[in-house]
Amino acid sequence: MGTVERRQREAGRRRESILAAARKVFWQQGYAGTTIPQIAGVAELAPGTIYLYFPSKDALYVELLMEGYDILLGRLKEQVAAGGSAYEQAERLIEVFFGFAREYPHYYDIIFFLLQRDNTARWQIKLPGDQIAKLMEKEEQCKQVAAQILDRVEFGDGAERAAAVEAAWSMLAGVVLYKRKEADFRQVCEQAKKLLLAAVFMEERMKAEG
């Protein structure tokens, strides 16, 4: 192994160790309560070393957001690739959304809620425009997976499909926000899934029956 390759591998390992430390501190302290020295302490590095890999706390936080989006997006795409009817695919996508919230609560929180609770309007302006654009692109990619299913059932025009995806996204997020810690969370998720599917596929079902 050459010197350059060895250094690249070492840099990659150190970057991952910084991200691991950042996950731990952010999960425990939240965005507002986390500092670079805290992350450096967990990573057993000097604070200055952190800045060699990430220019700010914001940049580290965005990196974790990207990780969360990548997990969710990958799982959504897997369900579409698995085939089946539009109804079956839509059902699985809803289950993936709720499953992601249960399995990765910390990623889910920073994607959907912690940003709002920490008043992102105040800190996002510090971020380079390309980072903000990447976050918006990831969210849009997730929504586009759902939009593809609506295309299959010819659900209204483009504007109606976009509005339907936004409504469904908000509805599912609301269920998690208000019910995730409740004993009947799974039951509420199941009911939400049934209601959403009924609303989306009502016209298609009426055509089939008629």
Q: In angstroms, what CA-CA distances link 178 with 93, 116, 117?
A: 20, 15, 15
- Residue ranges and CATH numbers for the domains of the chain are 1-54 (1.10.10.60), 57-209 (1.10.357.10)
Q: Which pLDDT value is given to residue 18?
A: 96
Specify the pLDDT at position 130. 76
Which pLDDT does position 125 carry in this prediction?
43
Phi/psi of residue 79, nearest 5 degrees? -70, -35
Could you give the CA distance from residue 124 to residue 104 in angstroms, rounded to a whole number?
Answer: 23
Q: What pLDDT is recorded for position 204?
A: 58
Is the four-CA dihedral 171, 172, 177, 179 of positive or negative sign? positive
| pTM (predicted TM-score) | 0.82
168 Cβ contact list (under 8 Å, min separation 6): 146, 196, 200
pLDDT in tens, the chain (210 residues): 677 787 788 888 999 999 999 999 999 988 888 999 999 999 999 999 999 999 888 889 889 989 999 999 999 999 989 989 889 999 999 999 999 999 999 898 888 765 554 444 444 445 567 777 788 888 889 999 988 888 877 776 778 888 888 888 889 988 998 888 899 999 999 999 999 999 888 765 545 444
What is the distance of C-alpha 32 from the center of its chain?
Answer: 20
